[in-house]
A and B are shown apart, each in its own frame.
Chain A
Amino acid sequence: MATIEMTPVPAAAPDERSLLPLLDEGKPSARGWLARRIVQAGVIGAGLALIAVNPPVLQTDRVTKGLIFVIIGFSLHILLGYAGQISLGHQAFVGVGAFTSALLVSKGLTFWVAIFVSGATGALTALILGFVALRLKGLVLALVTFAYGQVAVNSIFAIPQLTGGGAGVDALRPAGFEGDKAWAYLVAGFLALIWLLDWRLVKSKAGRAIMTIRENEVAAASFGINVVGYKILAFVLSGAIAGIGGALFAHHTRQVAPNDFNFQLALVFVLMVVVGGLGSRPGVFVGSMFFGIFPLAVPSDFVHYGELIGALLLLLTLTMFPGGIGQQLKPFTDWIAGHPFHFSLKPQRESGISSGGAGVRP
């Protein structure tokens, strides 16, 4: 399950604290770093072993679904967490990616090319929305993304030539990865790449620019940051990752139909990122994993109780623990990143959503 630490990521949240050099706290000793790396490797190893063992509740098939949700969660997190732009139509990007790959593979193209074409089509659909987002802010943007997702699903996804109408399109897995375990490792590999990309984005000039725009657009522009360009970049990156996630989604179930991408799914995506905790990669990982696996692990008679628990978790997170799961994980992730171990139960009100762009009134 915990394939998160697959890459050597200092998993600190991209907040002010991690941007500060380790001034007064001092750096860990060589033995301290060794202990941290051993723990990190242990967590990754345990996650990979989990896939190989295929235990009763966390079957490989379910874990893979969770990993795909994490990829989609990271995609939405770029918009919601870093850029401060809300997207209630994310199921459309995922769906576009899913149908692109399924269609191309069924026409004979190899999966290894199709998945990157999916990324491109996902990016293209996000690009269109990005241009709309340049003019609209806050709540009105939320409405337009919501409408965009609905219209895409009800209209574009209903064209039989593209999506097979209600019947859907077959999506075969690539040769050598038909088995559940091999497929799970492939998905984990894609997640590792995207995790790496996300980590480098946050540390780069582009990442800092995107987050500055979230905090204050006018101030960012006055520092010479290309506001239009970086906003569009955030949408394109998010769309590309969502497209790749969609392709994996399609090939995971081996078939994809328009009904897979309803409005509730878009809300679940928002839910898992917010419950996971904006600004925290490990938090988004755990949150997305939970919302990917939980509905499958609940007995089918009680599936609606699962939905109820999801909604309650969201409301509790928003009203009482705005930092989400990431906030609870912070003592551990900070330690891995080289800080001393500080543990406090005091809730802190400093998540990404509660600052800057996303909060601007229309």
Chain B
Amino acid sequence: MISALLSAIILGLIQGAVIGLVALGIVLVYKGSRVFNFAQAELGTVAAFFLYFLIDVVNVNYFVALPLALIGIGIVGFLLERLIVRPLFDAPRVTMLVATAGVTLLFIALELIIGHTQTRILAKAADGTAFTILTVSFTYQRMIVIAAVVGLAIASAWFFNKTDLGLAVLATSQEPVATELVGIGTRRISSFVWVSAAVLGGIAGVLQGPDTLLYPGMMTREFLLLGLTAAVLGGITSLSGAFIGGLLIGGLNGLGSWAQGQFTASIGAIPAFPEVLVFVVLLAVLSVRPQGLFGAEA
């Protein structure tokens, strides 16, 4: 029983790493544009489709295809900023939120038109299993996911705390006019933010793709709600908060599915119990700390 619980939680934490990666992109966009990016998860699916196309249709080597797919998704992020975000620069944030949700629907419709509803198997970066803890096998793919998340979280924390560009991003979102006055090009900064967020989302997509099959709307269906919840739980402005929020939600999910399997008569009778658990925790945290667990201005 204990080992089953631990296994479930470890599996949840691994999933939490991907949630954290999605949440990281959401926090980055929030810091730069003060909006919840409902397209963040779907950018990952688009990147995964790019990768699939390059490997399985064009027959390119994985390690050539991967950077190309990420460059591709970066261009998508650039266009997104130019065509959607910039015209709405002065619009209320909820309008922009609806626009990003519209972008998600646009992406899903395009994926369905090009790829139809069939599911595909995306290539892995590495095969094989490194080691096994309890019943959870740590495949090399999973190790790469964890390493990528930790590395990217540290890199973005360094970026915002130590570099001038990071400071300029924060300044742009808080006081665009004053930032413009001291000679920082706020438009360039905005482009930069969306391109980086798209690449972050793309990394999440190509890393997660092999674990869940690739189908249109994959990342949105599996990770959008969890990623947003993680970002808000962690305090929408905190990078480390997003990361910890992701792990927390992953762990809760693991705990929930364990409890559902363990107590079939009581909790097991509640459909989708892990989701209910995460929602209840979100409401509880927001009612005590509306700014999230690690929220602070900036």
Contacts and interface: CB of A to CB of B under 8 A. Distances in A.
Interface of A: 86, 88, 132, 135-136, 138-140, 142-144, 146-148, 150-151, 154-156, 158-159, 263-264, 267, 270-271, 274, 304-305, 307-308, 310-312, 314-315, 318-320, 322, 353-355, 358-362
Nearest to A149: B225
Identify whether the interface residues of A are mostly helix, strand, loop, or mixed.
Answer: helix
B92 A359 contact: yes
Interface in B89-127: 91-95, 97-99, 101-106, 108-110, 112-113
A146 B276 CA distance: 13
A134 B99 CA distance: 25
Category for how many chain B residues contact A:
35 or more
A314 B39 CA distance: 15
A314 B229 contact: no
Given A310-B105, A361-B34, A304 B112 contact: yes
B251 to A, nearest CB: 18
B277 to A, nearest CB: 10
B11 to A, nearest CB: 20
A320 B86 CA distance: 12
Contacts of B287: 135
Contacts of B95: 318, 322, 353-354, 358-359
A201 to B, nearest CB: 22
Interface centre among B84, B105, B108, B225 (most CB of A within 10 A): B105
Given A135-B286, A314-B102, A358-B92, A159 B229 contact: no
Interface of B: 34-36, 83-84, 87-88, 91-95, 97-99, 101-106, 108-110, 112-113, 220-221, 225, 228-229, 232, 236, 270-273, 275-276, 279, 282-283, 286-287, 290
Contact of B113 (A139, A264, A304, A362): A304
A360 B109 CA distance: 31
Nearest to A143: B228
Interface centre among A151, A156, A271 (most CB of B within 10 A): A151
Given A138-B93, A147-B279, A158 B272 contact: yes
Contact of A318 (B34, B35, B98, B113): B98
A132 B88 CA distance: 28
Contact of B286 (A136, A138, A311, A320): A136
Given A139-B36, A143-B229, A358-B92, A270 B283 contact: no
Nearest to B216: A304
Given A139-B93, A143-B36, A359-B93, A319 B87 contact: yes
Interface centre among B101, B103, B104 (most CB of A within 10 A): B101
A315 B228 contact: no
A143 B232 contact: yes
Contacts of A310: 105, 109
Given A86-B94, A358-B95, 19 more contacts: A86-B97, A139-B236, A140-B286, A147-B229, A147-B279, A155-B271, A155-B275, A156-B271, A263-B220, A304-B109, A307-B108, A307-B109, A308-B106, A308-B110, A310-B105, A315-B103, A353-B95, A354-B91, A354-B95
Contacts of B286: 135-136, 140, 144
B1 to A, nearest CB: 25
18 contacts: A86-B97, A86-B98, A138-B93, A139-B35, A140-B290, A150-B275, A156-B271, A267-B102, A271-B102, A308-B109, A308-B110, A318-B84, A318-B99, A319-B87, A322-B91, A322-B95, A353-B94, A358-B92
Contacts of B220: 263
Contact of A270 (B98, B113, B228): B98
Given A267-B101, A315-B102, A359-B92, A155 B272 contact: yes
A355 B91 CA distance: 9
A264 B87 contact: no
Contact of A311 (B102, B228, B272, B290): B102
Contact of A312 (B91, B106, B225, B270): B106
Contacts of A136: 286, 290
Given A146-B228, A150-B275, A307-B112, A139 B94 contact: yes
A125 to B, nearest CB: 14
Interface centre among A158, A304, A355 (most CB of B within 10 A): A304
Q: Which 5 A-B pairs have the closest CB atoms?
A: A359-B92, A158-B271, A311-B106, A307-B109, A308-B109
Interface centre among B98, B103, B106, B113 (most CB of A within 10 A): B98
